[in-house]
Amino acid sequence: MLKMVDHMPTPAAFKLDLPCRPRRLRRSATVRALVEETVLRPEDFIAPLFVVEGKPAPEEIASMPGQFRLSIADLVKECRALRKLGVKAVALFPKLDAKLKNAEGTEELNDDGLILRAVKAVKKALPELVVITDVALDPYTTHGHDGVLNAAGTDVENDRTVARLAAMAVRQARAGVDFVAPSDMMDGRVGAIRSALDAAGFTETGIIAYSVKFNSAYYGPFRDAVGSAQAAGTKSLSKATYQLNPANRREALAEAVLDAAEGADVLMVKPAGAYLDIIRDVRERSDKPLAAYQVSGEYSQIHAAARLGWLDLARTRHESLIAIKRAGADLILTYFAKDEAKALAH
């Protein structure tokens, strides 16, 4: 039999001749912190909040654990809590009573509408807080689309919708909002809104454009939150004729370039987690501030996996947000804003 002889040196004697040892920069928590490349701050976050009519107790959204539909009074309280944690911006979304909805979304024309009163209340209580409002008709329509339908009822009519959105933005500016955020993906709406705001004297009101909004399956819980899924009678409402095809990268860049040219102050990619490559593409193409929306489905799937014990909620939450910022986002709309801000304070 052959005798096996081990000529390998003992572990204690074995040394690699390596001039570069990357692990030197990972050897302690203080060293890792010293060389950390991407840092999250509460100021990076925009907290999306849902507001309802009347004085109900906060109602938790079943598909979004830890998120609530809030009365205006409770909305102001939540904004105060966020501000104390260092979160400096909120985005408001209305949940309307079904009786106020119709095919044209005419409740949006109400100068004393829910979202306008909510803006006034928040700005009165916290004038330094940045308030952002959604410019789209889906919370107001019975069909759940982001605009008004054509005569056949088969598609959203682009130009008539844009006229409504421009007037909507002016009413929101009059209420005191800092930024309007058109989320509809109609052609030409950023330029029309900018022109309408300027003509009405609101040259200081900014536009955060949902420039790259994909026709994503990740929006389901949000549609529950604002009631647009139920209004449409389905959770699989197709918006493929105006939201972007998830397969298209070049088209996404073209949309961002158009919005920048039309006067958008901030560009946005939505969703965030599944489109980190698009965030990076837009970041490299434009010097405009860039926002990314970590949408309801991203939030809810992390919560669901954590509740099953499959993921660590705090670590996964933080990692998901780090990835979005590392990809190039300056601002992150996230339902994790409050919890992550609390964690960053410790």
Mean pLDDT of 325-337: 98
pLDDT at 229: 60
DSSP 298-324: HHHHHHHHHHTTSS-HHHHHHHHHHHH
Question: What is the number of alpha carbons within 13 Å of residue 342 lying toward its C-beta?
Answer: 7
Instruction: Single out the catalytic residue among 88, 123, 213, 325.
Output: 213
Cα distance between residue 139 and residue 63, in whole Å: 18
> What's the mean per-residue pLDDT of the chain?
94
pLDDT digits 0-9 by tens, 10-58 = 666 789 999 999 999 999 999 999 999 999 999 999 999 999 999 999 9
Cα first-last separation, the chain:
65
Has residue 284 got a pLDDT over 70? yes
Question: Measuring CA to CA, how many Å separate 23 from each of 15, 30, 35?
Answer: 15, 13, 12
Report the DSSP beta bridge partners of residue 290: 267
Share of the chain above pLDDT 90, in %: 90
pLDDT at 230: 53
Cβ atoms of 131 and 93 closer than 8 Å: no
pLDDT at 66: 96
Mean pLDDT is lowest, of 99-108, 156-165, 196-205, 227-236, for 227-236
pLDDT at 14: 87
Question: Which helix or strand (DSSP H or E) is residue 91 part of?
Answer: strand 89-95
Has residue 3 got a pLDDT over 80? no
Instruction: Single out the catalytic residue among 270, 288, 325, 338.
Output: 270
Residue 17: CB atoms within 10 A of its CB come to: 4
Does 213 qualify as catalytic in the annotation? yes
Structural domains of the chain, ranges and CATH numbers in brackets:
38-344 (3.20.20.70)
Backbone Cα Rg of the chain: 23
Does 15 qualify as catalytic in the annotation? no
